[in-house]
Amino acid sequence: MFFYSKEDSSINMKLEPECVGCIFNQVLKAFELLQPNISHEIVISAQKKLMTFLLNFDENLDAAPILGKVAYGIISEFLNDQDPYRNLKKESNKLALGLFEKAKGIIDKADDPLFEAIIVAALGNTIDFAGQHQINLISDIKNFTTEDLVINDYTSFKKSLEKAKHLLIIGDNAGEIVFDKLLVLTLKDIYPDLEIVYSVRAAPIINDATIEDAKYINLTDLVQVIESCAAPGVDLTSSTKEFKKLFFRKDGVILSKGQGNFESLYGIEIPDKDAYYLLKAKCNLMERIFNVKIGDLIFKKKTQGF
């Protein structure tokens, strides 16, 4: 178990065996998705560059999301595009916005709107081009039930909110951010005195949400939106001062969305506050850690070992 402090905040989840093969496969899938006609030689050259980096990678101290940052940086380099997922992110936002009113209607009619909003926000995590889980968002929303939340710390979450003054939501993907907006709306209605801040990535990385996505869906008109770091997870070493200040604020709660953020926070301590993970299991590593199946929804309070 590692401990985070403001002075030494660079230790994250160590690299796991499942991540090594996955990251090379992600490079291949990314090229196939973004530029299907790219030559095999370019793909192999990119993978070799990643392999060179991995040979010197400290698997005991460096986080898997940092390796992801390097991998997608290499992809951007070989495609000569700093934001190669730009168009896909726009499509995700448009898709999600098209489902916004329908999802809001489901939440508004629910016996427990907050729980329903949690479910919808978790299902929104389906939008992830880097994951192994097949994207089928429309079907998921139409068919979800409360039983789909296979790990359910919702009651604990409500208790944490009742004593909190501040909630930091650590966002994940474009598109998904639309469903997080529904969660924010519900939270503001139930807890009008709760200060809610939503964080996005500080620069384009895969299909993760940035400030441009937050503005596009008008989330910035609803709550304060801040930038964290330019990695597919939480890297406090490179995060903004504003994010670190809110992250360590003692009178609040953290809600971490998605797998990359979980990988960043897994196995370390966040002192003096409650934190929760809300995500959809998308790979074999999540199956092993949570003892769930790929596609399962998880809402877990961060405890020792997690």
Torsion of CA 88, 91, 97, 103, to 10 degrees: -70
pLDDT of residue 1: 30
Residue 200 DSSP SS3: strand
Q: Do 28 and 126 lie in a common domain? A: no
What DSSP assignment string belongs to 238-299?
TS-HHHHHHHT-TTEEEEEESHHHHHHHTTEE-TTSEEEEEEE--SHHHHHHHT--TT-EEE
Q: Do 146 and 290 lie in a common domain? A: yes
Residue 45 lies in a domain: yes
Contact 172, 258 (CB under 8 A): yes
pLDDT of residue 16: 78
Instruction: Calculate ∠ Cα 112-115-116, nearest 5°.
Output: 85
What is each CA distance from 227 to 81, 255, 295, 306, in whole angstroms? Answer: 21, 15, 28, 24
Could you tell me how many helices (H) and strands (E) the chain has, helices first? 13, 9
Q: What is the pLDDT along the chain (306 residues), one digit of tens a residue?
A: 333 333 333 344 677 778 888 889 889 999 998 999 999 999 999 999 999 998 888 776 666 667 888 999 999 999 999 999 999 999 889 888 988 998 898 899 889 999 989 999 998 877 655 554 445 665 676 677 777 789 999 999 999 999 999 999 999 999 999 999 999 999 999 999 999 999 999 999 999 999 999 999 999 999 999 999 998 999 888 899 999 999 999 899 999 999 989 988 987 788 889 999 999 898 888 999 999 999 889 999 999 878
Question: Cβ–Cβ contacts within 10 Å for residue 214, how many?
Answer: 25
pLDDT of residue 242: 96
Question: Cβ–Cβ contacts within 10 Å for residue 271, how many?
Answer: 10
pTM score, whole prediction: 0.90
Strand pairing category for 166-170 and 195-200: parallel
Q: Do 168 and 279 lie in a common domain? A: yes
Residue 284: domain span: 86-301
pLDDT of residue 137: 61
Whichever domain contains 116, its CATH number is 3.40.50.10880
Q: From 61, 79, 97, give the residue that closes a domain.
A: 79
Q: What is the domain count for the chain? A: 2
What are the backbone angles phi and psi of residue 286, rounded to the nearest 5°? -65, -35
pLDDT of residue 3: 32
Q: From 59, 79, 99, give the residue that closes a domain.
A: 79
Q: Do 258 and 278 lie in a common domain? A: yes
Q: Do 112 and 22 lie in a common domain? A: no
